[in-house]
Amino acid sequence: MAKQFRKGSLKNIDNTGFSTSNNTEGGRLTNKDGSINLRKTGMPFWERISLYHTLLRLPRLKFLLAVFLFYTVLNTFFAGLYILIGVEHLKGLIPANDVMTNFEQAFFFSSQTLTTVGYGHISPSGLQANIIASLESFIGILSFALVTGLLYGRFTRPRAYLLFSHNIIVAPHRSERALMVRLATYKNNHLTDMEAQLTISMYIYDNGQKVRRFFPLPLEISKINSMALSWTLVHPIDENSPLYQMSYEEIADANIEILCFLKGFDDHFSNIVQQRTSYTFNELVYGAKFLPVFHRSEDGSTTILELDKINAHEPAKLPEFEKSALNA
């Protein structure tokens, strides 16, 4: 059964931006990559989407494929126009009896015009061909300027480059229990003035009704000066915690989701960067502790941070607890 709170025992928060209504839930609130699990409707697709933001956030391979597809479609379109007005208007092109050969030559002439390479063995002849070639070269200049801007934006967009542990764990901590998540930077950037915040979404019984509420999860250390090594966020499960004296079954019934927010200052970008993720009950390991993730090098000259062990943990026995009035 989900947890029954006494009135005033813990203060929930309502400024998360998410709804507390049960019938609006559609899976997890925040995806693992930090994006919001939300689909908007009610307006045309092209008014709901920002093409610029979409292209900035596309994975590298998909972005390159999108640029290549745009380049190919544009050349195919103009090659079709040259075929439509007649390949005899392209001086230097050798007309053939089949359409595909003519299209192939027109396509490669189009690519030379679009990129303003212009090898010179084919040139437009006549007003129609010159108008099409002029329009294509103009579109080519604009297109490559846009692609260059997008490439620059993708390379210079400030990012935190944080690697989170795949699981969040409930571990023994100072004769009690604590919720822990581990993270580290995986690039050669350096973050300072790091701040972390955890918020839990959970279902509780309030006046006999099962409702979703959001609670802050106070951290032992919520700010650090430098993100040099890994950082384990520790939320003590004490009387100030919404998880206080909850059993594994009660946590499962509460359908928890833990929202994790990080921000810090990147001295390479000279800018504040942020990253977020979330953990659901399926990603919770109850009764475990993280294994060491860094050690001294063999010659003792440096410290080794093993990023592939960021999620490494082992089973650990949790201290017993007695039921309190909060769970009555």
The residues near 223 (Cβ < 8 Å, ≥ 6 apart) are 193, 194, 195, 196
* Structure confidence at residue 260 (pLDDT): 95
Please give the full DSSP string across 2-60, using - where no structure is assigned: PEEPPTTSS--B--SSS---GGG--S-SB-TTS-B-----SS-HHHH--HHHHHHHS-H
* Structure confidence at residue 2 (pLDDT): 53
pTM here?
0.78
Tell me which of 63-67, 103-107, 321-325 is least confident. 321-325
* Structure confidence at residue 285 (pLDDT): 94
The residues near 258 (Cβ < 8 Å, ≥ 6 apart) are 168, 179, 181, 198, 199, 200, 201, 217, 278, 279
**C-alpha 123: how far from chain center:** 47
Give residue 10's pLDDT band: very low, low, confident or very high (50, 70, 90).
Answer: low
Please give the DSSP secondary-structure letter assigned to residue 187: S
Mean pLDDT in residue range 81-88: 86
The pair of three-digit structure tokens given for residue 301, joined into one six-digit string: 């000259």
* Structure confidence at residue 6 (pLDDT): 46
Q: Which residue has the higher pLDDT, 71 or 322?
A: 71
Q: Do 310 and 183 form a contact (C-beta atoms < 8 A)?
A: yes
Give residue 3's pLDDT band: very low, low, confident or very high (50, 70, 90).
Answer: low
* Structure confidence at residue 72 (pLDDT): 95
Q: How far apart are CA 65 and CA 44, in angstroms?
A: 25
Give residue 267's pLDDT band: very low, low, confident or very high (50, 70, 90).
Answer: confident
Number of H helices, E strands in the chain: 6, 17
> 11 pLDDT exceeds 80?
no
Mean pLDDT in residue range 281-299: 93
pLDDT tens for 142-195 read 999 999 999 998 888 888 999 999 999 999 998 899 999 999 999 888 899 999
pLDDT tens for 220-262 read 999 999 998 999 999 999 988 999 888 888 898 888 999 999 9
Q: Three-class SS of residue 79?
A: helix
Please give the DSSP secondary-structure letter assigned to residue 151: H
Mean pLDDT in residue range 198-205: 89
Q: Which residue has the higher pLDDT, 277 or 5?
A: 277
> 206 pLDDT exceeds 80?
no
> 291 pLDDT exceeds 80?
yes
Please give the DSSP secondary-structure letter assigned to residue 261: E
> Where do the domains of the chain lie, and which CATH numbers do they carry?
3-38+159-327 (2.60.40.1400), 47-156 (1.10.287.70)
* Structure confidence at residue 4 (pLDDT): 55
Return mean pLDDT, the chain. Answer: 86
Q: Which residue has the higher pLDDT, 209 or 284?
A: 284
**High-pLDDT (> 90) share of the chain, %:** 47
Q: Which residue has the higher pLDDT, 116 or 12?
A: 116
Q: Which residue has the higher pLDDT, 168 or 99?
A: 168
* Structure confidence at residue 324 (pLDDT): 41
The phi, psi pair for 63, rounded to 5°, reads: -65, -45
